[in-house]
Amino acid sequence: MSEQVILVDKNDNIIGVEEKLKAHQLGLLHRAFSIFILRRNPELELLMQKRALTKYHSGGVWTNSCCGHPRPSEPLMEAAARRLKEEIGLSIPLKEIGTFTYKAHVGNNLTEHEIDHILIGYWEGQLTAPNPEEVETLQWHNLNETLAEMNKHPSLFTVWVKEGLEMVVNFTKK
């Protein structure tokens, strides 16, 4: 069975479901999440992934630690825990810090149109090998240096990661 996403209105109220690829072909607004895993070393760092080249869009560019879409009837935090384990092999507590909505063309005649729930977690341990179908590589990146690099070279990063990272930086300053 093909993956489905939850279609939502501008207030994140569920209005239906659609096959994931079709939702991206039509640019339909759907629910998503982006996970940002942090550590102190001694400054705050973000675990970033370079997406696998074989991904259906945005392959070979840097993004946040993990992202995905809840399945119909799947609570957001359960979906996030599932994807975090599937992509990078971690099971850690996550906290939602906010949402934002964006719409952007991502290549291959696809459009991301999402209400993106931003989740954070902390990890100080060893990393396991990520799922090669999802992730080319994982690396820790200094938060402030990464934001500066995103401003200089936005094409090296996914279209959603900068706004999410800015939310994370603002949250960690509280």
Catalytic residue positions? 67, 114
H helices of 89-160, in order, are: 143-152
Chain CA centroid to CA 73, Å = 20
Is residue 82 packed enough to be buried (19+ CB in 10 Å), middle (13-18) or exposed (0-12)?
middle
Cis peptide before 154 (omega within 30 of 0): no
